[in-house]
Structure 1
Amino acid sequence: MTSFSEIANPSDQNINIQGALLNRLKESRQKFPERFSKAIHILASVDGNVDGQWKERLQQARNDQSGERITLIPYNLGNFHWIGVLIKFKADGQIECAEFIDPLQESNFIPDKLQKQFTEVFPDAILRSRTCLKHNDRKSSALVTIVNLLKAVEEPELTEIECPDTDYLHVQIVNDQQTSTCLAKDKQSNWQQEERSVPTSSLLQ
């Protein structure tokens, strides 16, 4: 299993962040159980260079579980660039919302391929972009993706609030005497209506 320190300072672009995400979710649930009342499933990471793997994960998300739930899918675009995908299912199995989260500040990622295959599996749903913490360092994208996905599945007291006035969101992550700081600037003037606001306090302290 890939350690958290390896994710914070990756030497291999093909690291698998599923295990670290599972561990962090478990720790967060123990500390803040009220924030994670829904069933959350974390699927194996998608390798963007492997044909059919993305569609396979989507079919798994649709078929392997039932009822109200949240499914998280880490996605490796290659060259140390990671994104995260979040799918919220209603009790009847219909999708409440589906979002991808790209943490790279100067990203040139074009989601057309993801969107097309997503629609093939879920023809009545749209995969949207979500505002998130961002970072300029490509090698930090795996770490920031973990933070973003965990923040996205939190249940805040208010689901619709305006974006904070501050231009910067700060997340401090502490693990085994190692601190990694992610500093992100939100360039958008407003949150998109479908995006949920998340608290800015650290989840992984």
Structure 2
Amino acid sequence: MQFTVAIDGPAGAGKGTLAKAVAARFGFAHLDTGLLYRAVGRKALDQGRGTLDEGLAELVARELTPPDLARDDLRGALASRAASKVAAMAGVRKALVAFQRDFARREGGAVLDGRDIGSVICPQAEVKLYLDASLDARARRRHEEMAAGGAAGSLDAVRREIEERDSRDASRADAPLTKPVDAHLIDTTDLTIEQAVERAVDIIEQALARVR
């Protein structure tokens, strides 16, 4: 069975946590597409000696390998900033499209989370979810996540970084962050992860019933 769940939304809305939970619930494969851009950004920074060159980033994206996704420094602030910048590069996005689409149509079902999954990568996905939350809630979650990982930084700094990321994601010329018209909106501001997962599960179960 081919069944795709596309999950989009801004940073800190809970996409990754929900995607993992949904994939586990239904036995679907999961791809955090943001990790692709983090890996490209970090590798391009390494090869560019601290400078993000667009041509180099595109080359890295075309030659990305599974070990590149297993680096232990892809969840840090540096990788996050690099990901936001390379994600605005049309050549990088184009280089990663085929990888994502192939993953989405694999047998057994797939869950992909990112910022252009329902709008660009998988416009025909059986289920599209758009997660959102207030800026304060998203900043608080990201700050707690970073603190748990031992990363320093103030809540205000995290909030500013997310605001900047939101602006770049929404204003980039290629595949800007937007809610697909046929996506189900889940506002996680006042929801526990368990409540958000149950809402997503209900939507997915209804869609599965229609295709079986």
Please give the TM-score of this superposition, normalised by the length of structure 1.
Answer: 0.29
Q: RCO greater where, 1 or 2, for CA within 8 Å and sep 6 or more?
A: 2
Q: Which protein is richer in helix relative to its size?
A: 2
Please give the TM-score of this superposition, normalised by the length of structure 2.
Answer: 0.28
